Amino acid sequence: MRYREYGCPVEATLDVIGGKWKGVILFHLMDEPKRFNELRRLLPEVTQRMLTLQLRELENDGVIHREIYPQIPPKVEYSLTPFGDTLKPILLLMKDWGSEYTTKVMELRNVEPA
């Protein structure tokens, strides 16, 4: 786990879950563990290198767990840690806010929902 001084608690939270992909990765891990390729399919726009980097950072921050199963071919699963589970309410609020935001934007632009 990395540590540094933060100006406020929001800065610390954004340091852990901020960025384009971390929140989305955490959202997809909320219900059940996922393998790397499952996450790749769920996030087709992320590069393999970026996904690997984001997963490592989340693991280093103690919010996800990487489980390696001793089999051939190797099986690796990612899941939320108990500490990562504490992010669920935040992620669900972000989901709700994002849904409301996109609805409002579509209304302002006179676009029909898909």
pLDDT digits (tens, 9 = 90+) for 20-73: 899 999 999 999 999 999 999 999 999 999 999 999 999 999 999 999 998 888
pLDDT digits (tens, 9 = 90+) for 64-111: 999 999 888 889 999 999 999 999 999 999 999 999 998 888 888 876
Contact call for residues 71 and 42 (beta carbons, < 8 A): no
Sketch the domain layout of the chain as residue ranges: 9-108
Contact call for residues 36 and 78 (beta carbons, < 8 A): yes
| Domain 9-108 listed as CATH 2.40.50.140 | no
Strand stretches in the chain, DSSP E: 34-35, 64-69, 75-80
Task: Determine the pLDDT at residue 104.
Answer: 87
At residue 32, what is the residue type? E
The dihedral region occupied by 43, where left means phi > 0, alpha psi between -120 and 50, and beta the remainder, is beta
Using DSSP's 3-state secondary structure scheme, residue 47 falls into: coil
N residues, the chain:
114
Q: What would the two tokens of residue 59 be?
A: 């693991």
